[in-house]
Amino acid sequence: MRAEIITIGDELLIGQVVDTNSAWIAEQLNAYGIELYQITSVHDSREHIIAALDEAFGRADIVLTTGGLGPTKDDITKHVLCEYFGTHLIKDQRVRAHIEQLYKDRPDVLNRLTATQWLVPANAEILENRVGSAPLMVFHKEQKILASMPGVPYEMKIAMEEQILPYIGRTTVNILHKIVQVTGIAESSLAILLDEYEASMPSTLHLAYLPKDGIIRLRLSSYGELSESEMQTWFDRLKDLTKDYLLTDTDEPLEVIVGRLLQAKGATISTAESCTGGKLGVLLNKHPGSSAFYNGTVVSYATSVKEQVLGVSAELINVHTVVSEEVARAMAEGVRKLMRTDFAIATTGIASATGGYTKDEVGTVWIAWATPEDTYAECFHLGKLRDQITDRACIKALIGLLKIINQKS
């Protein structure tokens, strides 16, 4: 079964908003055995929406739209869908009761515009939008369906999980994606290493290379043609061929793997961050349950914080400068002691040509790892763009920690 997404809203087409909804929806659909064929972003324009609907129904069985369901004049999706499916709006008392309940403590919101939210297309099935006022609408067109959801990510996710996906139902198709993450090899060299493997693959199996921040994610995909065990055989061969560079055989983010490893050892971690500004700590604590292994972070942007909070000596900074092996080590050891953790990571580097640094120096980052036994440090050159440098530094910090823990155990 094939689906398409149409995202509706001028904000997407002038760059005011990044479309994070589509990737999330795509993942859910695949898990239900539904292939997402195309994503199309269109303006809040009657003609544009209608053209996109016609094209999508020409290719897919399920069309999911997001956006354009607010109570204001710029949101026209509901009216266009009415026209497209040849119907008119009627009052829905269930939706009305829900909205009155939703805003029972906010009488100012129960105004005449909000009241337009309980007008729904006469021939649509209305599903409950538990957390918002825009109705979830399902339309039928021959054997095909269209589901319309709000564009607000939190509302859309609850709508998909609780209403739309159960409504559509799982197919019997087994879409399988299996992923290894490798590091320390160039994409082209990896492809040469896998040359014979790729040549021997059946045509129903696909291998994709996805390089980012020094990690290559290798993805094997099958759209229902292979059984789990056939897939597993091919995946095992892939793991074996890449074993010298293998980070993990899942698509989980590195911080999840690190967190699980720490938790299994009953170990804790803290970070001291200069150039990464707290991003490494945010990664480590972003998943529920992280308080089991993550104690905290000191972001030491000001030199005085390095000295007074982390206990790095002023002399060390004067002799070696803040971006140095010695200071990185002292920061890691300082935060490890301060937060009483088993492990600690410190970053100090140059993320932009400010504060007296030259363009050539930008991208230099020292990372240190303090452990119960020893402290390690390494210097990296991570590019020229601020976000690129700090994102890559976080990845390097996590890869380094993984290696240290794995070597020790």
Residues between 325 and 354 with contacts to a copy of itself, criterion CB under 8 A: 338-340, 351-352, 354
Residues pairing with 64 in the sheet: 5, 147
One residue of 152, 327, 345, 350 binding a copy of itself per CB under 8 A? 152
One residue of 10, 128, 230, 378 binding a copy of itself per CB under 8 A? 10
One residue of 215, 238, 299, 365 binding a copy of itself per CB under 8 A? 299
Contact call for residue 23 and a copy of itself (CB under 8 A): yes
One residue of 46, 217, 237, 260 binding a copy of itself per CB under 8 A? 217
**Closer to a copy of itself by Cβ: residue 100 or 122:** 100
User: Residue 81 contacts by C-beta under 8 Å, 6 or more apart in sequence?
Assistant: 65, 121, 124, 137, 139, 146, 148
Torsion 70-75-78-81 (CA) sign? negative
Alpha-carbon gap, residue 288 to 284, rounded angstroms: 10
Region binding a copy of itself by CB under 8 A among candidate stretches 72-80, 81-89, 235-243, 313-321: 72-80
Give the count of beta carbons closer than 10 Å to the beta carbon of residue 111.
11
Residues between 81 and 110 with contacts to a copy of itself, criterion CB under 8 A: 106, 108-109
Contact call for residue 295 and a copy of itself (CB under 8 A): yes
**Closer to a copy of itself by Cβ: residue 224 or 296:** 296
Q: How far is the CB of 327 from a copy of itself (least distance, A)?
A: 15
252, 234, 253, 247: which is closest to 194 by C-alpha? 234
Burial of 256 (0-12, 13-18, 19+ CB in 10 A): middle
Which residue's entry shows tokens 């920061």? Answer: 331
Distances, alpha carbon 358 to alpha carbons 236, 318, 321, 352, in Å: 47, 19, 15, 9
Q: How far is the CB of 123 from a copy of itself (least distance, A)?
A: 26
Q: How far is the CB of 308 from a copy of itself (least distance, A)?
A: 7
Residues between 353 and 392 with contacts to a copy of itself, criterion CB under 8 A: 354-355, 383, 385-386, 388
Burial of 54 (0-12, 13-18, 19+ CB in 10 A): exposed
One residue of 37, 57, 85, 197 binding a copy of itself per CB under 8 A? 37
Contact call for residue 66 and a copy of itself (CB under 8 A): no
Tokens at 106, concatenated: 């906010």
Contact call for residue 221 and a copy of itself (CB under 8 A): yes
Q: How far is the CB of 346 from a copy of itself (least distance, A)?
A: 13
CA dihedral defined by 163, 169, 174, 175, rounded to 10 degrees? -40
Contact call for residue 206 and a copy of itself (CB under 8 A): yes
Contact call for residue 291 and a copy of itself (CB under 8 A): yes
Helix (H, G, I), strand (E, B) or coil at 196: helix
Alpha-carbon gap, residue 332 to 371, rounded angstroms: 9
One residue of 33, 253, 278, 311 binding a copy of itself per CB under 8 A? 278
Tokens at 283, concatenated: 């990664």
One residue of 104, 141, 212, 408 binding a copy of itself per CB under 8 A? 212
Residues between 117 and 146 with contacts to a copy of itself, criterion CB under 8 A: none
Residues pairing with 349 in the sheet: 365
